[in-house]
């Protein structure tokens, strides 16, 4: 089946299932604009196809999807352009997945970050294997947890979402199940059989009950309590201060604080405000807010500096501007959330 994805994304009909396979393993299945548009077209067609009862999304290689193609974002910027339309279509796809009226099953058997979270978290079933690694690492490249991160992360409970958003830290299978990032956990070896069973019955709920393997949480009780204590504070400076007070006697707090201090100060402030606001907003409203932020980030210094340091000149230290939280005013952050002069994201 061809929805315009070329060799980057494959579409098949298997029994009662529409099966999507991301096929850029060499690029960790990073999303391109072509992939986004093709997946959207497939969902539009399959939602109205009475012979398709369920959609299954999987991937080749060691990653489910490592995010959007941020290197392309950098290359386009070097040429004087902006990838605004890519992000607009990606955000629309996230909402389309959330509104999809049939079961949408993501089989996550590897790295799932950024844009990969966007094409999985908004679906009905998120199935993690022992190889799954989840993260929203955007603050590390001068960006923010987008693709609906402002909606998903605040709903994880226990301030885990704020912790993940401000650190960019990774979690594995057990912590993903415990926090709600994943809805089910299975063994990787059973993925092919699960696909066949779901395609045969069209009923992922029943099949996943058969394949489900409960996995314990890796985070300790002390770490869970520390996350709830520090990351429930009412402002970013209060979170930092809480971690600072705990640091002399708490290795977890010290490590967490050290990570946060390497992140873009602007990204930290924007992320804190976006997650706080998103906790009381619908997904479409969150996506409109994120599109406002995105437009300002595409004109900022830190995004391209972060991509350069992490992915172009790999391993170099980014030169954040401003370089400290103290150098950022409330009005600086207000500007990221201000209405767009040429109209908001249409959904």
Three-state SS at 297: helix
At 36, list the tokens: 């986004």
Of 5, 115, 118, 148, the active-site residue reads 115
Q: Is 115 a catalytic residue?
A: yes
Residues 6 or more apart whose CB falls under 8 angstroms from that of 295 comprise 84, 340
Do the strands 111-113 and 63-65 form a parallel or antiparallel pair, or are they unpaired? parallel
Of 69, 90, 109, 146, the active-site residue reads 146
d(CA 339, CA 336): 9
At 206, list the tokens: 């029943």
Beta-bridge partners for 20: 11, 57
Q: Is 146 a catalytic residue?
A: yes
Of 138, 207, 302, 305, the active-site residue reads 138
Residues 6 or more apart whose CB falls under 8 angstroms from that of 256 comprise 163, 167, 226, 230, 243
* In the chain, beta strands by DSSP E: 9-14, 17-22, 54-59, 63-65, 104-108, 111-113, 125-128, 133-135, 184-185
Of 5, 68, 114, 168, the active-site residue reads 68
Residues belonging to the active site:
68, 115, 138, 146
């Amino acid at each position: 089946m061809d929805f315009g994805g070329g060799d980057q994304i494959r579409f098949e009909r298997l029994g009662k299932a529409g099966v999507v396979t991301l096929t850029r393993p060499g690029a960790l299945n990073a999303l391109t604009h072509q992939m986004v548009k093709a997946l959207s077209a497939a969902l539009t067609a399959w939602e109205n196809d009475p012979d398709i009862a369920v959609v299954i999304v999987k991937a080749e290689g060691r990653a489910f999807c490592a995010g959007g193609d941020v290197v392309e974002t950098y290359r386009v910027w070097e040429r004087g352009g902006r990838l605004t339309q890519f992000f607009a279509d990606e955000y629309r796809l996230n909402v389309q997945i959330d509104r999809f009226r049939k079961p949408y099953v993501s089989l996550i058997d590897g790295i799932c970050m950024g844009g990969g979270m966007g094409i999985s978290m908004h679906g009905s079933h998120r199935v993690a294997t022992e190889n799954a690694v989840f993260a929203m690492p955007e603050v590390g490249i001068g960006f923010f947890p987008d693709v609906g991160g402002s909606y998903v992360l605040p709903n994880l409970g226990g301030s885990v979402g704020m912790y993940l958003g401000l650190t960019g830290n990774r979690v594995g299978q057990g912590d993903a199940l415990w926090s709600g990032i994943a809805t089910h956990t299975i063994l990787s070896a059973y993925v092919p059989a699960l696909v066949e069973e779901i395609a045969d019955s069209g009923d992922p709920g029943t099949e996943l009950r058969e394949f489900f393997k409960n996995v314990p949480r890796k985070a300790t009780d002390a770490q869970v309590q520390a996350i709830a204590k520090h990351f429930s504070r009412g402002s970013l400076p209060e979170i930092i201060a809480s971690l600072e007070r705990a640091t002399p006697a708490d290795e977890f707090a010290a490590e967490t604080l050290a990570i946060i201090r390497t992140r873009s100060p602007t990204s930290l402030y924007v992320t804190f405000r976006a997650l706080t606001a998103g906790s009381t907003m619908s997904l479409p409203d969150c996506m409109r807010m994120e599109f406002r932020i995105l437009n300002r980030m595409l004109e900022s210094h830190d995004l391209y500096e972060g991509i350069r340091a992490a992915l172009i000149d790999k391993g170099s230290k980014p030169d954040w501007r401003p370089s400290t939280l103290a150098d950022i005013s409330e009005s600086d952050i207000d500007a990221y959330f201000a209405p767009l002069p040429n109209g908001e994201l249409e959904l």
